[in-house]
């Protein structure tokens, strides 16, 4: 029997591998394209391919870089020749770290903007009837400095936008990452208008779940969960009141599938957990402590001044998805974080192995990263001073500090973190085993 066909770029990343798995479960012949440069990609490839017969679909993998159009086009043509035109192309391949986009903007642009253009051209030339699902980002809206924010005890919130940021909000990217993803976002929409391609753009907030080997500036929920279980030191920038809406991975995939089968082309959606599923950094740390026993909770927090360009608050207005597709998130942050912690505990050995392998992945990029942080030194010092609390209690910071009851917190000099982070960011990140 001939399987239905599908293609997933970045199919060994966190979201991509879940897309591949769902497609295989539904009997598709799936082409997974990934250059395996991301932390955890090889582990996810091993996981999805370890027992091909357990899933009804057909799995095919090609280690191709989307920046190389001729190679990408050739891979598409081979797949179509063998398995037929794909019903869907899910485009997840990307450079996803804001800090790395600042350190190496050319790589960021070539991956996110040019790479997306290459995917669009491959679809236009080879399989124009396929639906294209594109993972965009909340970072297209920039730092949202024009949106008024109020400060509560443990979180910041929008003062007036109670339902969150709608997709009609003006885009204003403020980092190379935001710019490259915004360009890709626009190309997706224009290829729908000009060439009639069936594109769907999802400007995603904080998606989290299993198979996410988080890093400090990308995948922060899993990063914290892993640190809590593996005796990690976590770096918190600013007061820890930064707020995000969280979306469990299966809820995201439900939205993808509903949009794909809706027949609505050229749509742009903001997607996240919405206001009802938001957590601040401090609230997440408290939840992790609550879900852990005293013996298993090993996180220690190190506090630094605010990073330039960080959004104090980002919450998605998901009402358009609800109105057009009937979609709502089903999994609460508490339930999702609990599942995530259980996955970390069950897969501790694999997670530790991934962290060790990260030593060899991106070392070549450290000099550029160091140069950026030397250049940004003044910005890192712009926050008000934070005094050191009694680490045994972890309480009673002043109004500019971070207070998480029962969690050791150490105030750090931002200049020290410049050096520390350079040597460790691409070698398993900057939570440190004690």
pLDDT of residue 411: 59
Answer for the pair 431, 386: CB distance below 8 angstroms, yes or no: no
Cα separation, 139 vs 316, whole angstroms: 12
Per-position b or e across 195-231, b if 16+ CB within 10 A of its CB: eebbbbbbbbbbbbbbbbbbbbbbbbbbbbbbbbbbe
Outline where DSSP puts E strands in 289-433: 300-304, 313-314, 409-411
pLDDT of residue 70: 98
Residue 170 lies in a domain: yes
> What is the count of structural domains for the chain?
1
- Per annotation, catalytic residue among 141, 177, 256, 397: 177
Cα separation, 76 vs 430, whole angstroms: 38
Pair type for strands 149-151 and 156-158 = antiparallel
- Domain span holding position 312: 4-424
pLDDT in tens, the chain (434 residues): 467 999 999 999 999 999 999 999 999 999 999 999 998 999 999 999 987 678 899 999 999 999 999 999 999 999 999 999 999 999 999 999 988 999 999 999 999 999 999 999 999 999 999 999 999 999 999 999 999 999 999 999 999 999 999 999 999 999 999 999 999 999 999 999 999 999 999 999 999 999 999 887 789 999 999 988 887 788 898 889 999 999 999 999 999 999 999 989 899 999 999 999 999 999 999 999 898 876 667 678 888 888 766 789 999 999 999 999 999 999 999 999 999 999 999 999 999 999 887 655 444 333 333 323 332 333 323 232 222 233 333 333 333 456 565 565 665 654 444 323 322 322 233 334 43
177 as an active site residue: the answer is: yes
Cα separation, 55 vs 152, whole angstroms: 48
| CATH number of the structural domain spanning residue 61 | 3.40.50.720
Outline where DSSP puts E strands in 315-392: none
pLDDT of residue 243: 97
Q: What residues have CB less than 8 Å from 59, skipping those under 6 apart?
A: 20, 24, 30, 32, 48, 49, 52
pLDDT of residue 232: 74
Residue 433 lies in a domain: no
pLDDT of residue 108: 98
Cα separation, 402 vs 178, whole angstroms: 28
Residue 196 lies in a domain: yes
Residue 429 lies in a domain: no
pTM confidence score: 0.85
How long a stretch of residues is the chain?
Answer: 434
Q: Which residues does residue 60 pair with via DSSP β-bridges, in sequence order?
A: 31
Angle between helices 41-49 and 348-357 (to 10 degrees): 140
pLDDT of residue 311: 86
Residue 432 lies in a domain: no
pLDDT of residue 375: 29
Outline where DSSP puts E strands in 155-299: 156-158, 198-204, 206-208, 233-237, 243-248, 267-271, 278-280
Closest CA to 202 of 247, 252, 249, 159: 252
């Amino acid at each position: 029997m001939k399987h239905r066909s599908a293609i997933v770029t970045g199919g060994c990343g966190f979201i991509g591998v879940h897309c591949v798995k769902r497609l295989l479960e539904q009997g598709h012949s799936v082409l997974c394209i990934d250059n395996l440069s991301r932390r955890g990609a090889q582990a996810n490839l091993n996981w999805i391919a370890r027992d091909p017969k357990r899933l009804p679909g057909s799995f095919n993998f090609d280690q191709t870089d989307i920046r190389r159009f001729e190679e990408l086009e050739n891979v598409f043509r081979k797949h179509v020749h063998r398995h037929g035109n794909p019903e869907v192309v899910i485009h997840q391949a990307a450079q996803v770290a804001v800090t790395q986009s600042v350190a190496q903007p050319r790589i960021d642009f070539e991956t996110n903007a040019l790479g997306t253009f290459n995917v669009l051209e491959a679809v236009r030339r080879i399989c124009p009837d396929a639906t294209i699902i594109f993972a965009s980002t909340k970072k297209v809206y920039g730092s949202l400095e024009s949106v008024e924010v109020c400060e509560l005890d443990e979180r910041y919130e929008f003062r007036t936008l109670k339902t969150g940021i709608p997709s009609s909000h003006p885009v204003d990217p403020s980092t190379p990452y935001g710019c490259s993803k915004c360009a890709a976002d626009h190309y997706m929409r224009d290829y729908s208008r000009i060439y009639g391609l069936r594109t769907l753009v999802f400007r995603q907030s904080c998606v989290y779940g299993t198979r996410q080997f988080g890093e400090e500036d990308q995948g922060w929920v899993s990063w914290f969960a892993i640190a809590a279980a593996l005796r990690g030191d976590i770096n918190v920038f600013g007061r820890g009141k930064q707020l995000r809406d969280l979306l469990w991975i299966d809820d995201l995939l439900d939205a993808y599938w509903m949009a794909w089968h809706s027949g609505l082309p050229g749509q742009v959606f903001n997607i996240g957990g919405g206001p009802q599923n938001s957590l601040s950094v401090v609230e997440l740390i408290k939840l992790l402590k609550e879900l852990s026993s005293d013996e298993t909770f090993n996180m220690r927090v190190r506090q630094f001044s605010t990073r330039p360009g960080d959004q104090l608050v980002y919450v998605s207005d998901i009402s358009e998805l609800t109105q057009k597709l009937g979609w709502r998130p089903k999994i609460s942050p508490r339930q999702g974080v609990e599942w995530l912690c259980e996955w970390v505990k069950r897969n501790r050995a694999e997670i530790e192995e991934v962290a060790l392998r990260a030593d060899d992945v991106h070392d070549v990029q450290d000099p550029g990263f160091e140069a950026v942080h030397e250049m940004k030194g003044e910005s890192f010092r712009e926050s008000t001073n934070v005094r050191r609390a009694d680490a045994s209690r972890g309480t009673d910071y002043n109004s500019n500090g971070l207070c998480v009851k029962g969690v050791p917190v150490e105030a750090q000099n931002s200049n020290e973190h410049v050096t520390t982070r350079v040597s460790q960011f691409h070698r398993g990140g900057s939570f440190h085993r004690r």
